């Protein structure tokens, strides 16, 4: 590998790109909710969501906030006399919000509820009692004016059920009783295509590590499409994303380093493909689902990334072109638990921890903060990922032949003579290394990366005193 463009000094990057922008829209602060473990939905310019804890009774709440971060409004505080600890997202149907709470209700085993978008007219529509399911997880989906969902426990075998119910809470029908062989403890949400429902179980199946299943909306033709075996993933906790006749998903663990995998599978159960293994550096332990736009999948991981607090990433539907879009660091949020919501060219999401209270006195790293709501605008033009705080920028990312990077310093003494530019692979091995000569101002370099294998690498500026600054990049 060789440098193909001489070092140059310039004052700005004239590359015609609009950089992605990450914006914290609202910080949770216990009273207005904390630790969300679900997803956002959108109606017009208003986002709606739930938190699993926090609120006046620490049982969670329903909230709304505008997409520009203004007008945060807590619509409903859950309490011990009703719904408690929701973990999924809301469903917008006929002008109302519908949701599931994992606990509470008359039997304390969870319930289905509705509430108006202004927080009025809260109604407990259905209470789970064990026989008809218990401790529901995930969200309701609507198909043909019928809601479908799952409980992680209860039913005939006490391993969870798939159910259908009418919007007024009547007509509950138990469609599937999980029995360990076909799965146990369903997770995430159902995905519907025509008259077929698709979903995943966190446990059960041939190896006890989870399964993918399909069933007709009337409860017939239950079919186990795949059982996870560890190497191909294990313990899925998110949902499946459907595009054409292909389902995409993730598992929280399993794979080559047991940090989880992203995969695809045809709706008939054939063609399973492991798209990528999470390895820590590129994220680890994804607990949500993938969002698809064109031929690109977007998602988040609960942990891993540059700071260990999770990351936002993209990968092509064929498993190539991985890119680390954003690394959470606690202050800007940490440990996202749900999915990304794409509206126009902006993603919206939540983190279960971190935010403005992250740096509270006495709070250990990784344990502070009540979570937040964020927006992330996709970059247009050249995909340019920047760390201005490090004075180090690189583009394009992913790169196929040439990787450009810049070092911006106020004076040449900021990076002493003898600094080196290293390229490291994921295990930390040095792939390339050379001395970097730095002048005052913005210094532009280019590296020929055409000889590198496809994958994730780090560009590292190493100082003579042992300190370093680095950024991830991908070779496709």
| Model pLDDT for residues 201-243, shown as the tens digit of each residue | 999 999 999 999 999 999 999 999 999 999 999 999 999 999 9
What is the C-alpha R_g of the chain?
Answer: 24
Are residue 413 and residue 344 in the same domain, yes or no?
no
CATH at 425: 2.60.40.1930
Residue that the structure tokens 């054939």 belong to:
270
Q: Which of 354, 381, 408 is the last residue of a domain?
A: 381
Q: How confident is the model at residue 30 (pLDDT cuts 50, 70, 90)?
A: confident
Are residue 8 and residue 28 in the same domain, yes or no?
no
Q: How confident is the model at residue 451 (pLDDT cuts 50, 70, 90)?
A: confident
Query: Do 89 and 62 form a contact (C-beta atoms < 8 A)?
Result: no
Are residue 172 and residue 199 in the same domain, yes or no?
yes
Judged against a pLDDT cut of 60, whether residue 416 lies above it is answered with no
Q: Measured between alpha carbons, how far is 66 from 43 in angstroms, rounded to an integer?
A: 10
Q: Please state, as a whole number, how many other Cβ atoms lie within 10 Å of the Cβ of residue 54.
A: 25
Judged against a pLDDT cut of 60, whether residue 432 lies above it is answered with yes
Q: Please state, as a whole number, how many other Cβ atoms lie within 10 Å of the Cβ of residue 21.
A: 11
Listed residue (234, 240, 226, 316) closest to 270, CA to CA: 226
Which range (4-18, 120-134, 175-189) has the least confidence? 4-18
Q: How confident is the model at residue 468 (pLDDT cuts 50, 70, 90)?
A: low
Which range (42-46, 55-59, 377-381, 406-410) has the least confidence? 377-381
Q: Measured between alpha carbons, how far is 434 from 83 in angstroms, rounded to an integer?
A: 61
Question: For 114-160, how does the pLDDT look when each residue is reduced to its tens digit (9 = 90+)?
Answer: 999 999 999 999 999 999 999 998 899 999 999 999 999 999 999 99
CATH at 156: 2.120.10.60
Judged against a pLDDT cut of 80, whether residue 14 lies above it is answered with no
Q: Is the peptide bond between 396 and the residue preceding it cis, with omega within 30 degrees of 0?
A: yes
What's the rounded mean pLDDT across residues 57-68?
94
What's the rounded mean pLDDT across residues 103-111?
90
The angle formed by the CA atoms of residues 264, 265 and 269, to the nearest 5 degrees, is 165
Decide: helix, strand or coil at residue 245: coil
Query: Do 340 and 319 form a contact (C-beta atoms < 8 A)?
Result: no
What's the rounded mean pLDDT across residues 421-440?
74
Are residue 38 and residue 80 in the same domain, yes or no?
yes
Are residue 304 and residue 340 in the same domain, yes or no?
yes
Are residue 137 and residue 213 in the same domain, yes or no?
yes
Question: For 370-393, how does the pLDDT look when each residue is reduced to its tens digit (9 = 90+)?
Answer: 999 999 987 543 333 334 444 677
Judged against a pLDDT cut of 80, whether residue 102 lies above it is answered with yes
pLDDT (0 to 100) of residue 420? 77
- Work out how many domains the chain is built from and give that number: 2
Q: Which of 348, 381, 414 is the last residue of a domain?
A: 381
Listed residue (130, 87, 128, 77) closest to 104, CA to CA: 128
Judged against a pLDDT cut of 80, whether residue 33 lies above it is answered with yes
Are residue 412 and residue 336 in the same domain, yes or no?
no
Are residue 349 and residue 459 in the same domain, yes or no?
no
What's the rounded mean pLDDT across residues 69-96?
91
Average pLDDT, the chain: 85
Are residue 314 and residue 256 in the same domain, yes or no?
yes
Are residue 372 and residue 399 in the same domain, yes or no?
no
Are residue 247 and residue 336 in the same domain, yes or no?
yes
Are residue 76 and residue 116 in the same domain, yes or no?
yes
Q: Which of 381, 405, 420 is the last residue of a domain?
A: 381
Instruction: Tell me which residue range forms the domain holding 465.
Output: 3-14+388-475
- Kind of pairing between the strands at 385-387 and 91-93: unpaired
């Amino acid at each position: 590998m060789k440098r193909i463009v001489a070092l140059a000094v310039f004052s700005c990057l004239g590359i015609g790109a609009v950089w992605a922008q990450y914006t914290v829209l609202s910080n949770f602060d216990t009273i207005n909710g904390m630790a969300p473990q679900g997803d956002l939905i959108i109606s017009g310019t208003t986002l709606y969501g739930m938190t699993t804890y926090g609120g006046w009774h620490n049982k969670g709440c329903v909230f709304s906030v505008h997409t520009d971060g203004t007008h945060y409004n807590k619509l409903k505080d859950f309490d011990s006399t009703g719904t408690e600890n929701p973990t999924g997202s809301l469903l917008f149907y006929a002008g109302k919000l519908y949701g599931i709470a994992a606990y509470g209700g008359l039997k304390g085993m969870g319930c289905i509820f509705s509430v108006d978008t202004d927080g009025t007219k809260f109604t407990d529509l259905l209470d789970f009692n064990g026989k008809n399911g218990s401790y529901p997880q995930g969200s309701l989906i609507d198909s043909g004016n019928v809601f479908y969902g799952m409980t992680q426990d209860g039913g005939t075998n006490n391993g969870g059920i798939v159910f259908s119910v009418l919007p007024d809470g009547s007509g509950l029908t138990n469609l599937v009783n999980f029995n360990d062989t076909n799965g146990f403890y369903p997770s995430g949400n159902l995905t519907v295509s025509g008259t077929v429902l698709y979903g995943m179980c966190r446990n059960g199946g041939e190896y006890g590590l989870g399964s993918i299943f399909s069933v007709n909306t009337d409860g017939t033709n239950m079919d186990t499409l795949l059982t996870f075996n560890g190497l191909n993933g294990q313990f899925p906790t998110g949902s499946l994303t459907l595009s054409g006749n292909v389902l995409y998903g993730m598992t929280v663990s399993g794979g080559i380093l047991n940090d989880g995998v992203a995969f695809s599978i045809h709706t008939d159960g054939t063609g399973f493909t492991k798209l990528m293994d999470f390895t820590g550096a590129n994220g680890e332990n994804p607990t949500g689902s993938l969002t698809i736009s064109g031929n690109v999948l977007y998602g988040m991981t609960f942990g891993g990334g540059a700071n260990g607090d999770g990351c936002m990433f993209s990968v092509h539907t064929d498993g190539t072109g991985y890119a680390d879009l954003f690394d959470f660091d606690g202050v800007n949020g940490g440990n996202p638990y749900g999915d990304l919501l794409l509206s126009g060219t902006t993603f919206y999401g939540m983190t279960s921890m971190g935010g403005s209270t992250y740096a509270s006195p006495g709070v250990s790293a990784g344990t502070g903060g009540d979570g937040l709501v964020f927006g992330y605008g996709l970059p247009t033009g050249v995909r340019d990922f920047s760390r201005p705080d490090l004075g180090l920028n690189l583009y394009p990312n992913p790169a196929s032949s040439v990787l450009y990077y810049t070092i911006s310093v106020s004076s040449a003494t900021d990076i002493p003579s003898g600094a080196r530019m290293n390229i490291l692979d994921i295990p930390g091995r040095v792939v390339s290394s050379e001395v970097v000569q730095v002048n005052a101002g913005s210094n532009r370099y280019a590296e020929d990366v055409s000889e590198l294998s496809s994958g994730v690498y780090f560009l590292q500026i190493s100082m003579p005193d042992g300190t370093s600054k680095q950024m991830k990049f991908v070779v496709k």
